[in-house]
Structure 1
């Protein structure tokens, strides 16, 4: 099947840290990170209303407005409307010092259109390339997610399909942390792509068996978020934004030991592994500073011996069928 529109890759910039995820970032640091991304040739940027309750969209928009609109691809998300509230807590949903709004979940068609209008105003731009339905299956282990997902498929999905057909947006899909809603969306609707965070990485190849072939069959693409699994593959102690289980830390340590044996950076291996499948259009690690952006660009281009990937397979650290760079 012919491939649909794909964001420019292989490396993009994830905007969650720009919304003060877990810790505040000064305005000048956020601007420097975005400027460093542009200078390095990054042209794919992702954000969401949730990220700092509008703060990430404000920061990205302020910098990207200075650039020719045809030269970059921008995605944001729907499903969480921001409602002004001066009394809103300064810490919400993991974001510190965000803007004075509260989040209301709403995946209806009307809320989808309103959310896009609000995002365009915060960004100060006239067009968004890709709109992603944000975590309609936020907790796939709880009972409520299927109702929320059904609302998204009945409301947001047809609204976004219509906007794509009218040429208002280039593509739409889901921005999620789990595989199952992506597979259901391919069955029930006509998405172009998925931003899936943490489910295709050196530590978790849960998307390999079903989602990658399903996307290939439909001509859909993947944007890989969370290539470091929220920190564990970057030297931290968290996996999916919570303290990592002991077995995951042990697996990370085995990966790190093999990397040391081959003289390979674990972070470089993590980024490049995520980018290897043909259906992956882009990998979008977040960054809190210009130095982190510059490091990610360098790591994505760092040479890695082909024998290293074979060694990972032999050690059982990546799936035998997982595509590898080169």
Structure 2
């Protein structure tokens, strides 16, 4: 769970106005406004103030579905996935919008590898092919083979904003260069390479391509088993080379607390998925949700594909501490 921070005097006054009510407004309206204010503060980059208000709203009305769901979404976006999922499940029990909550829970369950909960999710947003894959994953869960406590391998950083870098992967018996893209989820194989199905299990297609699983994904000496994937086969001749790429989403690596060093072009992965709470460097808040990966730069949320983020992550060593909702810049 993220750390509570002290709020400014101005923010305390705003919170008190909500906590003790404003004349002529019902309790429900007050707490709807509290969540809205927290959302606004978060959008403005005032993370500590927003967090305090999310907690205050949920604590004061613990059975209010909107406040519960808002706190759950916030905590999940800061890396507290399991706690966020529990709060969203409670919000559904308290009468929250089942379909909207399902859209929030689906990627959280997928990141947690909680395929059983995903398979039984009410009002599931998954396509029939995705549902078929999830049912298969219930009895074939993802596995991790890690020979040591940490693994170090090479990658090539890039500065054009298309991704974090390029990493060599093994999919079955073949080697591919994959773009590390914080905007993507799982493994995406695009172009001619998507026609090769060795090392893959497919479940049918939907509007986004062929739904699949990579049986064994090799990242250096680390092996991930049964990793969700998507195949996008471009049928037109002369498909641009830029679209014939393999992509690995940052969500695949985040569970291994990766450290990227663009100076040495080395990537470090950790079996525990954790780094020390006190570590040298500057902690910068991050969000990872349906809007993608965003970092707080100069009190503004900056998307992964922006020039500012690309420059930041391609010139300084950094560690993704997703469980604490931050990146640590060296």
Task: Judge same fold: TM > 0.5, yes or no.
Answer: no
TM-score, scaled to structure 2: 0.29
TM-score, scaled to structure 1: 0.29
Bigger-Rg structure (1/2): 2
